[in-house]
A and B are shown apart, each in its own frame.
Chain A
Amino acid sequence: MLLAATAHIPTPAFDWHAFAPDLVLVATMVVVLIADLLLPDRESWRTSSIAAVGLLGALIPIATLAHSGHDRVMFDGAYVVDHYALALKAFFIIATYITVLLAVDYIGEGDYYKGEFYFLLLVSTFGMSVMAGARDLITLFVALETISIPTFVLAAFRKHDRASNEAGVKYYLIGVLSSALMLYGMSLIYGVTGATRLSGPNSISSYMSQHGTVPLVAVAMFLSLVGFAFKVSAVPFHFWAPDTYEGAPTPVTAFLSVASKAGGFVALINIVYFGFFLPNGRAADSWWPVLWVLAALSMTLGNLTALRQTNIVRMLAYSSVAQGGFMLVPFAAAGIAGADGHPGKAAAAMSAVVVYLLIYGAMNLGAFAVVIAVARRTRSAEISSYDGLWEIAPGLAVVMGIFLASLAGVPFFAGWFAKFVMFRAIIDAGTGWAIALGIVAAVNSVIAFFFYARPIRAMIFHTPTTEDRSPIVIPQPLFAAIALSVAVVVVVGIYPQVFARVGELAF
């Protein structure tokens, strides 16, 4: 009987090629789990190699899909593989690959479950990969949870460490709260518009472009945005981030502050741009004021709090809050332009978000890689432990200086271009509100240098506090991660066209 009923449900067209990157990730997950079961304990580090190979393997179908060039729409538009989705999938996978490089020795040398670590990392990455293509509220929510749930466990991965446990629990509680808020907001959106699809016929965007913003939608958007604000740790919903970042194992912190945060941003782009902006920008006034406030607060408070930190991981945590604020600026700019009657300007603003994400990923992962390398010797993340690093390990000091200068936006390192496209979006929008936000961002980019300069000053202007002058040994994977990040930061800084083109193709 049941079987007969299911026979009437039409089978959706299934484009295997479009799903190939996700499928490779799933296959890798399974292989990692099985290998962890079969391998003896001292061989279990091999799971990291499997994960790394799987991640690189997932890049192949992305390349072939990009080469074939046309957009693939599946499940009535709930899942889309276009240039935007491909660019972000590639970004997530490469960011995770670098995280694996950071983790190999860190996890290998500590008292950790190894296979499970890479499994959880891959699950989260799979969620991100799905997120990049999600164009439906339900798909989006499921993808977001797939990203989040493994990271709750990863944050608490130092299982005998109370700080790590606290990090995990705090992150979990906040994550659940934000999910609840977001779901409530989404349910209201569904109630008003009668659709879960973000774009296309009979979708949220078609409803919004006909009716404009109705009050209930504004409330629903507000709730959803608060949920996202937790995910991307925007002020005032950021307070979990420093504790979680400090308590979690450092490779996990790098992953949280780059890949997982980017996942939140991609979700935000999907819902805000595809659902509540296209095709005519009429509904933008339902969300840009919220994002304006979030951006201004995140930049300012993130920076001001970072000024007072003495621990470099906490400093980078607050810096990532502030950087998140900078990334929200083009969002607000797109909304302002749309509400002002110039929806055409939004595509450039959105590509600014993507470009910022890519550049931020490279420089932040690089900074964390150096933190891990230095901590191998000093066992400390205090900024004072960087005193005189220039004399002990000049290479590491220079590289760290490059990452920090890039985060501060100093040319000719990639960060300048991220800041540039952000300001560009703001000036393009051009209204009073936009300019005001631009000035807040300008003042903040100056404040930011002040704290980014502190480790630089410690490394180069101060003399070493320890007598120990033996060189710092950097394992090969960590070295590769640092080299990769530096290469990206320098090349993109000199020839930003590389990433700018990706951002442009995406929109």
Chain B
Amino acid sequence: MNWFDSWALTLVVFVPAIGAAITMLIPREREDAIKEVALVTTLATLGFTIATLARFDYGKTSTLQFSVDKNWIDVINSHYHVAVDGISLPMLALSSFITVLCVIYSWDHFPEPHNPKAFLILLLVLEVGMNGTFVAQDLVLFFIFFEIVLLPMFFMIGVWGGPNREYASIKFFLFTLFGSALMLLSFLALYFKVDVPGVGHTFDMVLLSKAAGAGLVHSTQLLIFGGLFVGFAIKVPMFPFHTWLPDAHTEAPTVGSVLLAAILLKLGTYGFIRIALPILPEAAKSWAPWIGLLSVIGIIYGALGCLAQTDMKRLIAFSSVAHMGFVMLGISTLTTFGINAAIFGMVAHGLITGMLFFIAGSVQHNYGTRELARLGGLLKQAPKMGWILGFCAMASLGLPGLAGFWGEFPAVLSTFNPGGDLSQPLFRTYMVVAAIGTVLAAGYLLWMLQRVAFGTPKPEFADAHIHDVTSYEWTAWVPILLLIVALGIFPNLIFRVTDDAVSCQTAAPFVSKNTAPVSPSLHCPESPVAVQTAKVTGG
């Protein structure tokens, strides 16, 4: 193994920490130096991620690559085990990609009380947590990275946020902390209750997935899954745990909202795919109908919530609840098809909603308000920004040819034939409800577009000087817009990476008579279950 392969992921995770430490040493007044260090750090991290992408063996996406496994806390048998496979790779790429753009965007957009030094240090620490969560293969390590993101986001909302920031920040923190506490109890229960053949008790996610809950009675499985469910569902957030999200999003500064929507929410769904489903497949089968139910409630509730909003950012926040509902619905089908769609949905939602929050931030910056009743005529005053908003609204409502489509449509489709012997009639009912949700999504997004971009500016802003897209904004936005188009046209950019990994690891235990014929092209190195691993191709 060459030098880079054994260090790549460690670099991707900890280079931002080094950058944060360097930033700490620079005096507060030297803002340019601080911004440059932050930019170089995030670019270097992205560089290492790209190098990882380049050296990744796409023929074996279901195998963990770039694996490092060192002793960390011997006494509790926890390891520093990091690795990526086809499921983590897109998320890792998304995370290091978006962070760079956030640094660029914030270049001349630091919200009050300014202080770029503290802001960028928090941003870099946040990146450590996000990247780390996506590569961790040890439950304790996962837990630590999962938690590291809390404090920086707490401060971002609490210091740079809107008028109601204190309430929003503490609410965000307490909700997530409560979930993590239960999640930790479940992790420990997995350690002590699962006896991996030949290994014994372990926190290693790979080994635990191989054991797939062996030796656990069903009731215990259900309980442990319940703890994991609450922990991850709060983060996603699923109905009824979503109430922290609109507050946090509305109050957070633009960059905070973007990172929250693009990456932090994905930590929850990623947890389901990476931990809850493969480690406790039997419990997942029992929980799946309920997860599906909460998902469709979330889809409809989020959409109706959007229609009731008067604040642009809050509307986008509620649309996140709906979109994450589609992601969770895909996961709850327990099919390769649905989970692939979910991962695609995670990336697409990250790009599109992140972009929408960027625009909302710039609208706020220009008009000083996000109230839909006071906005209007963006296309007249800042036509470029108006068109970008329109483009993103189209992408978000799932227009074919743009990224949003490939997250939403296959997720709905996958409910037609759920895996794991789940009830077909039930999931087909979900399918109908979710389809209604897509119509509502078109409704609220077009309604928002109409009120913000169309018409003529309101009298109070008629003579206001509105900046159209600035050069920093172009630099931050163009890559996202290009990716939205690219992924819309070539969805295989992601599906090809995730497919084998999903079918071999996550969906394998749920193969049932309902699912379609076996695909010949599958490479499962050490399949945890039968050789007969299935994959749904197309509708």
Chain A residues with a Cβ under 8 A of chain B = 351, 405, 410-412, 416-417, 420-421, 423-424, 426-428, 430, 438-439, 442-443, 445-446, 449-450, 453, 457, 460-461, 495-497, 500-501, 503-504
Contact = CB atoms under 8 A, between A and B. Distances in A.
A176 to B, nearest CB: 39
A441 to B, nearest CB: 8
Contact of A423 (B75, B151, B159, B184): B184
B321 interface: no
A427 B191 CA distance: 9
A180 to B, nearest CB: 40
B174 A460 contact: no
A411 B141 CA distance: 11
B379 to A, nearest CB: 38
Contact of B155 (A420, A424, A460): A460
Given A416-B147, A449-B174, A424 B76 contact: yes
Contacts of B173: 449, 453
A420 B184 contact: yes
Given A446-B178, A449-B177, A461-B158, A410 B147 contact: yes
Given A412-B144, A412-B148, A442-B182, A427 B73 contact: no
Contacts of A430: 192-193
A503 B174 CA distance: 31
B159 A460 contact: yes
B411 to A, nearest CB: 32
Given A405-B151, A412-B148, A461-B158, 7 more contacts: A410-B150, A423-B188, A427-B188, A457-B166, A461-B159, A461-B165, A496-B73
24 contacts: A405-B151, A410-B150, A410-B151, A411-B147, A412-B147, A412-B148, A416-B147, A417-B73, A420-B140, A421-B76, A427-B189, A427-B192, A442-B182, A442-B185, A443-B181, A445-B177, A446-B178, A449-B177, A453-B154, A453-B170, A460-B155, A461-B166, A496-B73, A501-B75
Nearest to A402: B151
A500 B73 contact: yes
A427 B223 CA distance: 13
A430 B159 CA distance: 42
B74 interface: yes
A72 B73 CA distance: 29
Contacts of A496: 73
Given A412-B144, A423-B184, A427-B185, A446 B174 contact: yes
Nearest to B175: A446
B192 A497 contact: no
A457 B168 CA distance: 12
A501 B74 contact: yes
Contacts, number: 85
Given A410-B150, A427-B192, A457-B158, A446 B74 contact: no
B72 interface: yes
A interface secondary structure, majority: helix
Given A424-B76, A500-B75, A411 B188 contact: no
A119 to B, nearest CB: 39
Contacts of A446: 174, 177-178, 181
B196 to A, nearest CB: 17
Contacts of B177: 410, 445-446, 449
Contacts of A416: 144, 147
Contacts of A424: 76, 188, 191
Nearest to B189: A427
A450 B174 contact: yes
Nearest to B24: A398
Contacts of A460: 155, 158-159
A51 B535 CA distance: 73
A420 to B, nearest CB: 7
B435 to A, nearest CB: 38
Contacts of A500: 73-76
A427 B76 CA distance: 13
Nearest to B146: A411
Contacts of B140: 420
Contacts of B185: 423, 427, 438-439, 442
A330 to B, nearest CB: 13
Contacts of A504: 75
Nearest to A499: B75
A351 B75 CA distance: 10
Given A424-B188, A446-B181, A461-B159, A497 B170 contact: no
A379 B271 CA distance: 48
* 3 residue pairs, one from A and one from B, having the closest CB atoms: A500-B75, A442-B181, A427-B188
Most buried by A among B140, B169, B181, B182: B181
Interface string B126-144: 0000000000000010011
Interface in B179-202: 181-182, 184-185, 188-189, 191-193
A351 to B, nearest CB: 8
Contacts of A410: 147, 150-151, 177
A422 B378 CA distance: 56
B175 to A, nearest CB: 9
A442 B150 CA distance: 17
A459 to B, nearest CB: 11
B490 to A, nearest CB: 39
A119 B155 CA distance: 44
B20 to A, nearest CB: 12
Contacts of A443: 178, 181
A445 B177 CA distance: 8
Contacts of A426: 188
A361 B170 CA distance: 27
Contacts of A411: 143-144, 147-148
Nearest to B176: A446
Nearest to A445: B181
A421 B76 CA distance: 8
A332 to B, nearest CB: 16
Nearest to A460: B159
B188 to A, nearest CB: 4
B217 to A, nearest CB: 13
A412 B132 CA distance: 13
